Amino acid sequence: MKTAIQHISQALSTCSGVVVVTGAGVSAESRIPTFRDSMTGLWARFDPQTLATPEAFEADPETVTRWYDHRRLGCLAAEPNPGHLALAEIERRVTARGGSFTLLTQNVDGLHTRAGSSNVVELHGSVARWRCCATGREFEPGPEAMGEFPPASPFEAGAIARPCVVWFGEALPTEALDAAERALDTCDLFLSIGTSSVVWPAAGFVLAATARGAPTVEINPEPTDISQRVTWSVRAKSGEALPAILERMSFH
Ligand code: OAD
């Protein structure tokens, strides 16, 4: 009787179009808080509507930008964990044999790219990139804490800057959505890793993959709304499951 890990490894060794969606759970083992974990999540200590919205930024840009710079520095100090590293190696193996691999992440911490993943689509933007509110021009602040809040724009006197992350009520970057759609159109294996699957459109990607007849996978230590509808559900941490999947890929 093959285990889910063995099935997933075999599917990764033979399929042609892999699509992965990740959430904050993939970075939990890098000590970056998730959103909805009741005890340790970012939101255990505050209501997201008070900081992660354009209205909150309009009303109190100092508090919002101070909090995001705090998160930015936390992400810069974090290191990719075995789950990130295994995903990057899985991508290399799939593409080396001519397959396509698209990593759609809801995370803004940049750890997939730092781990070596190359085809990464940042659906919710990146906390490492900020932009001028007057001109829209983007920049990457240095490794030290910003000196003033809200930070002054480096491009326009008198203008302030904000993080290039998607806030509640804001549209996702069109180029990210287009990339996700293109990837799902040729998907023959779909993996949902470390996400509570409650925020759309990412939560709906599993439906698009299922509609194409692609086998679907969930890796999450807790059940979610999609756990019952995936082909293989792995009730484990991504930092444990992904290295185990990678290890078995070498047998195929
Ligand atoms: P959540 O905090 O909603 O969910 C994190 C998921 O990761 C949960 O289902 C946990 O069970 C799971 N998890 C925890 N530790 C894990 C581990 N070691 N390995 C694997 N899974 C683990 O975070 P997201 O699903 O990413 O959007 O939240 C989606 C979006 O909601 C975020 O991108 C953010 C928020 O609104 C924006 O800010 C626009």
Per-residue pLDDT in tens (0 to 9) along the chain, 252 residues: 679 999 999 999 999 999 999 999 999 999 998 887 766 666 666 776 678 899 999 999 999 999 899 999 999 999 999 999 999 999 999 999 999 999 999 999 999 999 999 999 999 999 999 999 999 999 999 999 999 999 999 999 999 999 999 999 999 999 999 999 999 999 999 999 999 999 888 899 999 999 999 999 999 999 999 999 999 999 999 999 999 999 999 765
Asked whether 171 and 87 are in contact (CB, 8 A), the reply is no
Whole-number Å distance, alpha carbon 235 to ligand 1 midpoint, is 15
Q: Looking at ligand 1, which residue's alpha carbon is closest to its atom 18?
A: 237
- Ligand 1 pocket test, pick from 106, 162, 206, 237 with the greatest ligand atom count within 8 Å of Cβ, gives 106
Whole-number Å distance, alpha carbon 198 to ligand 1 midpoint, is 9
Residue positions annotated with a catalytic role: 124
Structure tokens at 132: 């001028």
Cα gap 192→216, rounded to integer Å: 8
Whole-number Å distance, alpha carbon 133 to ligand 1 midpoint, is 28
By DSSP bridging, strand 138-139 and strand 125-132 are antiparallel
Cα gap 204→131, rounded to integer Å: 29
User: Would you state the pLDDT for residue 48?
Assistant: 67
Asked whether 103 and 121 are in contact (CB, 8 A), the reply is yes
Q: What is the position in ligand 1's atom list of the atom closest to the CA of 48? A: 36
Q: What are phi and psi of 120, to 5 degrees?
A: -105, 130
User: Would you state the pLDDT for residue 66?
Assistant: 92
Q: Looking at ligand 1, which residue's alpha carbon is closest to its atom 10?
A: 25
Q: Looking at ligand 1, which residue's alpha carbon is closest to its atom 14?
A: 25
User: Would you state the pLDDT for residue 37?
Assistant: 72
Q: Looking at ligand 1, which residue's alpha carbon is closest to its atom 16?
A: 25
Q: What is the position in ligand 1's atom list of the atom closest to the CA of 238? A: 19
User: Would you state the pLDDT for residue 1?
Assistant: 64
Q: Looking at ligand 1, which residue's alpha carbon is closest to its atom 13?
A: 25
Whole-number Å distance, alpha carbon 220 to ligand 1 midpoint, is 10
Neighbouring C-beta atoms of residue 212, cutoff 10 Å? 15
CA atoms within 13 A on the CB side of 104: 29
Cα gap 59→1, rounded to integer Å: 58
Pocket of ligand 1 (CB under 6 A): 23-25, 28-29, 34-37, 41, 52, 106, 124, 166, 194-196, 199, 219-222, 224, 237-239
